[in-house]
Amino acid sequence: MSWISQNLLRKVTIDQLTRLCMVVRCKDYKPAAEKCHLTVQGLRKSIRELEKSLDVRLIDSRGSVMQVTPTAQRIAELWEARRIDIGNALGYALALGEGVEQFLSIGCQSGHWNALVQPIVAKAIEHFDGTLRISAHIEKRDQLERALRHGEIQIALFLDTAPHLKGFERERLGAQQLALYASGTRPANVDELIARWIDIDWGPSTSDKIRHYLFRLNGGNALHNRLLIDAGNHALDYCVQYSGVGYFPVDAIAEHPQGHQLYRLSEYEAQMRDVYLMRLTMPPKESEQAMEYVLSQLRLHV
């Protein structure tokens, strides 16, 4: 890739390279666009902009069959081989723009973004006076783990449990409190509470603790009429709409627009959900200072 100058690399984005890789892999704009969550028109535009930045033809769509040029194939192979190591020269040339000295990619689940991660990101950018660029990924648990495995993020917060991944350190930071909330009329007794209870998937460990507590609360009787819902806004919407009862993170309810429509059943036990930090064991030298600063802030505030 020595034929691409450093100045040209600074005009290219990681998203553009990732989209090119998908086009090269699929050899068709339509399935590639679906995998990139773009329209075909949007993907074509991204490839054209990449061609313009590099001043080379990458995809030839003039005939009835798309042709991937040898140049596009070579760029895609290099990027696929190098993107896991964000510290390589190409990766940093792509990630860092003018005046930017450090790049850091951080991931979290939606429950931690507004209250914790977003303020720390803003504080870190201010602390490094514009020389730090941070890429934030707000994903579901399985998508966060995939992003770690593929080298797309260097720091990630996991709720409930954390994976064991080669090349990453795992650290328990603290815990998030979940309390029992209800909407509509207040449950008159335990029987009514159990009948209205929504079994929300807060992760295997936390959900098991909640089920065991309600099992004891129910006199050791099986929990019938269970409705299992994935964690997230959908669970809260359902609880509000159908006068449900369920455990929710206290900090999330305080910030959610619909949070005021729920009230806490404080006579029932709160449950704690572990918060884990995953960090790259050997971060690139260019991101060491930023990583240590963000880690110190996370340890301070979780």
List, for residues 80-99, the tens digit of each pLDDT value: 665 544 444 444 444 445 56
Give the pLDDT band (50/70/90) at residue 7.
very low
| Measured torsion, CA atoms of residues 42, 150, 302, 139, in degrees rounded to the nearest 10 | 40
Residues listed for the chain: 302
Reported CATH class of domain 6-95: mainly alpha
pLDDT tens digits for range 172-185: 999 989 999 999 99
Residues 6 or more apart whose CB falls under 8 angstroms from that of 300 comprise: none
Domain ranges of the chain: 6-95, 101-302
For the domain spanning 101-302, the CATH number is 3.40.190.290
For residues 50 and 12, the answer to whether their CB atoms sit within 8 Å is yes
Question: Are 6-95 and 101-302 in the same CATH fold?
Answer: no
pLDDT tens digits for range 242-287: 999 999 988 888 877 788 899 999 999 999 999 999 998 988 877 8
Q: Which pLDDT score, from 0 to 100, does residue 264 have?
A: 96
pLDDT tens digits for range 184-223: 999 999 999 999 999 998 888 999 999 999 999 999 988 8
For residues 206 and 271, the answer to whether their CB atoms sit within 8 Å is yes
- In 139-192, DSSP assigns E strands to 155-159, 168-182
DSSP 242: T
Q: Which pLDDT score, from 0 to 100, does residue 94 have?
A: 45
For residues 190 and 197, the answer to whether their CB atoms sit within 8 Å is no
